[in-house]
Each structure stands twice: as structure tokens, then as C-alpha cells.
Structure 1
Amino acid sequence: MTTTPSLDLKTKLQVTCQNCSLTSLCIPRGLAQKDIERISRIVSRKKTLQRGEHLFHEGDKFRGVLAIKGGTAKTVIHDSYGGEYITGFLLPGELLGFDALATNHHKCSAVALETLSYCELPADQLDQLCHEVPNLLRELFRHASAKLDEETDQVIINKRAAEERVAMFILNLSDRLRKRGFSPIDFKLTLTRQEIGNFLGLALETVSRTLRNLEDAGLITVHHRDVRILDLDALRATYANR
């Protein structure tokens, strides 16, 4: 890497990692400048996939921690009969690949839901890099812990009534988009209604009916996959505090 002034390097990395959780890996609080430079040299950037292409398949060998830079993805597992179950829905700035750490092979598949770009921190350099940059290991633990918390929350949500599940899905998506600098009230669903039902444990017809009920209540509007939340406070007050 060409040597540049510290501020210029930090600015360059912030632009490169915009809307990507590698921002917190490359420029976490307290990370020394030499560590920023070391990580930035190792991270592979801007690999692009199209909708339906895989970031990895079930059974693939672990090749590194991936961070979505743009676009969205789903993680899925399959039963012995070929049935697909959606286990996660990922947005820009979220990490994936932790499922392979225990066995060195992925327990699920990750699939692009739209044109998607991602960064990769290679597996063959993780041990050495975490030894050299202790704060990196802390950040990886933080992201892995957050993912476990999300999965636990989703299990609890999926025990609720159908209308609550769909409303909480919309609220969760709204909150995650807001944290990434996107609109929390106007957004596109990259999961189909069938996929939303799969993720929430609901039939397609139930998802469609529940969205209509939320529209009839004046809380949202839905046009194809475009969602607008008309009253975020009321939606949150009605469903988030139950």
C-alpha cells in the first residue's frame, strides 16, 4: 500500500467500507494506524454476485469471514427431503461465515437476494491477524454474539401470533436499515412473501393476509415489494412492546 497521511488513509478506508461492518473492523476505536493498514492490505474487497448466486454452500470449507458491502442475502439449510428453511436475512454491514468455525465447514448456505457485493477476511490469515491485532478478535466476537442474539430473538418472535410476527419483521427491518443510514419507513422487501413466510414459519396466504390487515389499520402500505410505514410510532407501540 502506498504510504499516505494518516487522515487520508482513514478517509479512504471509510469510503471503501461504507455501509459495511468492516468499517468497525478496519477503524475501531483505539486501533493503531499500523493495524488499520495491516487489515486493509489483507481484506479482499468488492466481490459481486447476482440474485440466486451463492456466497457459500452447505458443506463448503470455511474460507473466511464475509461482510456484505451492498445488497442483501439469506442463509438457508435443507432437510433430508430437500426442503429449504430460511434461517437468516442479512443486510449491508453484517458479517457471516461464523457457522463454519467449529467444524471448518458451513452448516448452511448463503444466497444473494439481489445484486450483492461483499468483502472477505481470509481464513488462512485470521489466526495471525487476530494475534497481531487483538481488537479484531474482540470485534469478531461482538458480531458473532450479536448474531446469536438475533437468532434467539427470532425463535421467540416465531412463537407469537401471525400478525405480530409479520409486524415485528417489518419493525426489525426498519430498525436495521435506520442504523445503516437508509430510510426506516420506505424500503423494498428483497425476500418474497413466500420467503418471508418460510422465515417466520407462516403460510404464504397468512403473510399476504396479515400485510393487508396492517394496511387496513393504516399502519403501512405495500405495493408489490415496496413498503412504506405510515405510522412508525403506532406500529411500534402496537407490536414491539407486547
Structure 2
Amino acid sequence: MHDDMTPAARGAPHARLLLDHAASGQRQWIKRNASLYRSGDPVADYVFFIHAGSFKHYRTDETGARKITAFPACGDFLALDSIGLVRHTCTAVALEDSEVDAISYAILRQHLTILHRLLAQSIRKMRASTAQLHHTTAEQRLAAFLLDLAKRHGRLEGTPPRYRLPMSRCDIGNYLHLSPESVSRVMHQFKQASLILLENRDITLRDASAMEAIATVAPPASPHADQHPLATSHMSKS
């Protein structure tokens, strides 16, 4: 039998079990820049598993400003945060042509243990992301972000890892709490240090180990330090 599951779904037993029990005909195709749901829309009795593609997930504050909370991609779930609500509080927009599988609440109620694990995992990711954004430098944030995208695309096994950035630098900056100029500056530093290769939106991690070191090393002692010391040491080689 043909298996059209993505590598992420095949490697995620929770997703595989839910999809095996989901009703047929629940796949949805979302065009680039189209929304799967928007803030204020009524919540349907579904969560969504991303079969292919990626999304921008954001909320809008009282001033109308958008804050990107995540870039869910293949293997992730959407609308878990809307369970129990009447209307969505966030918007999910496709960054590229994407496919999602709708999983009904009825299916989730049959697998409460899996649902609880998915919700707990979502909370852990949110807390980890919040901690990182408040206690790291621009270099650390961007290095961790690029590494995470490579891992999510299953690209760290490649030599060297290569993938496409579906989001803009403005969106990256919004998510990482950095200005677009800071994103461009650090990208340029990484490129000058031969850590990455950029070709339009295609990125190659030329030294994933060095990027990992930048992402995980302790932040500088001085609160006024503008650049990560490990990043500086790599930049000086260029």
C-alpha cells in the first residue's frame, strides 16, 4: 500500500495514530499567503496536522501590531491553542503552498493521552522559546533559529545542510524580537565568517558545529556587549 505520509509524520507515532483514525477526505490545500484560519474566526471542531509546507502563526495586539509566535512546518500541529475557545485568537497564514490534515475533536477525545502529550509538548516549546528570546544575544537567537529549521527539515544529516527559508527577514526579526536590520547584520556576519552560504532564500549551513556552539554558549557578562564572543571569534577568521 502506498504510504503518502511525510517523513515527519512517519517519525511521529502520535501523529500517525491520529491520522490513521481520521476520516478520509479531510486534507486541505492552502495556497501561499492564504490563511487556514484568522483571528476572530469561529473555531471549528478540528486541529490541523501539517502534511507539507509551512505557516506563519501570529496574534494581533490592541494597537493592530502583529507578533509572530511560531513558524509551524511539516510535522507540526495547528489550532491546539484554540481547543475550548469559541473564536481563534491567532492567525495561521501559509508561507508556501501547503497541505494540512484536519483531525476532528471526536478523534482527539478517543485518544486523550496523545492529546495531553501534544498540549504538554506545545507548552514546553512555548516556554523554551520565551526563555531563549529573553536571555540570549542576536547571534544566539539567529543561530538557534537556523539550526532548528535545519533539524525540522531533516537537513542536519546532509553535508552540508541546505534548505530554503520560506519567511522574510522582517518576519524572522518579528519572531526573534530583532529588527530586520539586526537580522541582516548577523546573517552577513555569519556569511563573512563562512558559517553559512546564502543564495536568495536558499541557505547552506557550512559549519553546523560552529553554529551550534554559538547558539548554546553562555551570553556575555556585560549587558552592553553588542556581539556574542564566540561569534566574534568566528567573524575574526574572515
TM range (shorter): 0.7 to 0.9
Summarize the Cα distance change of 1:201–1:184 in structure 2 as closer, same or farther, 3 Å threshold: farther
Amino acid at match of 1:88: A
Query: After alignment, is 216-225 or 177-186 more displaced?
Result: 177-186
The answer as to 2:120 corresponding to 1:141 is no
Amino acid at match of 1:144: L
For residue 197 of structure 1, what is the aligned residue in structure 2? 173
Identical counterparts, % of pairs: 26
Q: Name the one with the larger helix percent.
A: 1
Residue among 7, 12, 30 paired with 1:49: 30
Summarize the Cα distance change of 1:221–1:59 in structure 2 as closer, same or farther, 3 Å threshold: same
Residue among 195, 211, 214 paired with 1:238: 214
Measured in 1, the distance between the counterparts of 2:9 and 2:156 equals: 10
Summarize the Cα distance change of 1:184–1:142 in structure 2 as closer, same or farther, 3 Å threshold: farther
1:120-174 Cα shifts (integer Å, max 9, x gaps): 0123x34xx633xxxx322222222222111111112212111111111111112
Residue among 196, 220, 229 paired with 2:196: 220
1:8-45 Cα shifts (integer Å, max 9, x gaps): 4xxx4xx13224548634644xxxxxx986x14x2544
Computed over aligned residues only, the root mean square deviation of the Cα atoms, in angstroms, reads 2.5
Amino acid at match of 1:199: Y
The answer as to 2:91 corresponding to 1:109 is yes
Corresponding residue SS for 1:146: helix
Quick check: 1:196–1:207 contact (8 Å CA) kept in 2?
Answer: yes
Quick check: 1:19–1:69 contact (8 Å CA) kept in 2?
Answer: no
Quick check: 1:43–1:121 contact (8 Å CA) kept in 2?
Answer: no
Could you list the runs of 5+ residues in structure 2 that have no partner in the other structure?
219-238
The aligned length equals: 215
For residue 41 of structure 2, what is the aligned residue in structure 1? 60
For residue 6 of structure 2, what is the aligned residue in structure 1? 18
Quick check: 2:150–2:156 contact (8 Å CA) kept in 1?
Answer: no
Measured in 2, the distance between the counterparts of 1:117 and 1:182 equals: 25
Quick check: 1:52–1:111 contact (8 Å CA) kept in 2?
Answer: yes
- Give the alignment of 1:49-198 within 5 angstroms: 49-63=30-44, 64-123=46-105, 125-126=106-107, 130-131=109-110, 136-159=111-134, 160-178=136-154, 185-198=161-174
Query: After alignment, is 45-54 or 113-122 more displaced?
Result: 45-54
Q: How far off is 1:211 after superposition?
A: 0.4
Measured in 2, the distance between the counterparts of 1:228 and 1:140 equals: 36
TM-score by length of 1: 0.79
1:90-149 Cα shifts (integer Å, max 9, x gaps): 1101111111113232211111000011100123x34xx633xxxx32222222222211
Measured in 2, the distance between the counterparts of 1:174 and 1:213 equals: 19
Measured in 2, the distance between the counterparts of 1:91 and 1:175 equals: 11
Corresponding residue SS for 2:71: strand
Amino acid at match of 1:212: H
Amino acid at match of 2:101: C
Q: How far off is 1:178 after superposition?
A: 1.8
Summarize the Cα distance change of 1:183–1:218 in structure 2 as closer, same or farther, 3 Å threshold: closer
Measured in 1, the distance between the counterparts of 2:52 and 2:159 equals: 15
Quick check: 1:21–1:95 contact (8 Å CA) kept in 2?
Answer: no
Measured in 1, the distance between the counterparts of 2:210 and 2:65 equals: 37
TM-score by length of 2: 0.81
